[in-house]
């Protein structure tokens, strides 16, 4: 195998490995909370693919395939992480030391649950999330 | 799916600390129930269909959803027994969640 082809294989391994690692290790806070990590991996894969293309002598297609895939992932991943996943930092109604606004909402069995139900009983962790889509 | 895995990781640890954890989202109850069963989680899912509560908390990301709809900003809030906010974290990137250890540290200090 030529040096170029080896670099192309390494590039693809890093790019696909980054996706797999991120997906499998999503439960690990340090991985989940550093999504820029996959963008860095795609950038490294793209750099390797560029070197592979430059060094290609006879069989050029592995290097070009690696470059196409890694650069697409770099652009797509960079856009997703730095643009699409951004949440504007608008002011919230939350102040440490102030009373949490009360609410009453139906739970999964249709029963009404109020934040006030827990007062004097136990602490509550409220997790707002975007939904399952 | 990704965010619920993160949520699950957070909750399984927090549950051991003996607190009530409520997950608020615009999902329908039936949908949340299915998700809960699928992930074998036994915490409270509350349906905030029209984002009334998210709005009250100032946690609405306008047109932030995949179809341009308003969605909640991912946030985690620790409320003590007296109903006071003791700690909170609001995500600036919806892939990112607070470290469960940080949440637990606050809960254990209450």
DSSP B57-86: TT-EETT-STTS--EEPPEEEEE-TTSBEE
Separate counts of helices (H) and strands (E) for chain B:
4, 6
Res A61 pLDDT > 70: yes
- The answer to whether B72 contacts A129, with C-beta atoms less than 8 Å apart, is yes
Report the DSSP beta bridge partners of residue A113.
A105
B68's CB contacts (< 8 A; 6+ apart) are: none
For residue range A36-54, list pLDDT tens digits in order.
999 999 999 999 999 999 9
A34 pLDDT higher than 80: yes
Cα(A51)–Cα(B89) distance, integer angstroms: 42
Model's pTM, two decimal places? 0.82
Q: Do the chains contact at A125 and B79, CB–CB below 8 Å?
A: yes
Chain B from 49 to 68: CB within 8 A of any A CB: 52-54, 56-59, 61-62, 64-66
pLDDT score recorded for residue B21:
84
Provide the β-strand partners of residue B45: B23
Confidence at residue A109, expressed as pLDDT on a 0 to 100 scale:
82
Chain B contacts in chain A segment 17-36 (CB below 8 A): 26-27, 29, 32-33, 35
């Amino acid at each position: 195998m030529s040096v170029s082809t080896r670099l192309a294989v390494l590039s693809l391994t890093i790019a696909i490995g980054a996706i797999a690692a991120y997906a499998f290790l999503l439960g690990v806070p340090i991985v989940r909370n550093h999504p820029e990590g996959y963008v860095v991996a795609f950038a490294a894969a793209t750099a390797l693919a560029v070197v592979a293309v430059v060094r290609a002598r006879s069989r050029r297609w592995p290097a070009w395939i690696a470059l196409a895939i890694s650069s697409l992932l770099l652009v797509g991943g960079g856009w997703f992480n730095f643009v699409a996943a951004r949440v504007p930092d608008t002011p919230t109604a939350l102040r440490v030391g102030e009373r949490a606004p009360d609410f009453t909402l139906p739970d999964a069995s249709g029963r009404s649950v109020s934040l006030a139900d827990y007062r004097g009983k136990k602490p509550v962790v409220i997790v707002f999330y975007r939904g399952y889509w | 799916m990704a965010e619920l895995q993160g949520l699950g990781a957070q909750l399984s640890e927090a549950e051991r600390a003996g607190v009530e954890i409520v997950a608020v989202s615009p999902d329908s109850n039936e949908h949340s129930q299915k998700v809960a069963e699928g992930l074998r989680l036994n915490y409270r899912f509350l349906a905030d269909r029209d984002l009334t509560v998210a709005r009250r908390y100032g946690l609405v990301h306008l047109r932030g959803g995949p179809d341009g709809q308003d969605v909640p900003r991912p946030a985690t809030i620790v409320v003590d027994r007296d109903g006071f906010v003791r700690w909170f974290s609001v995500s600036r990137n919806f892939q990112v969640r607070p470290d469960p250890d940080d949440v637990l540290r606050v809960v254990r200090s209450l």
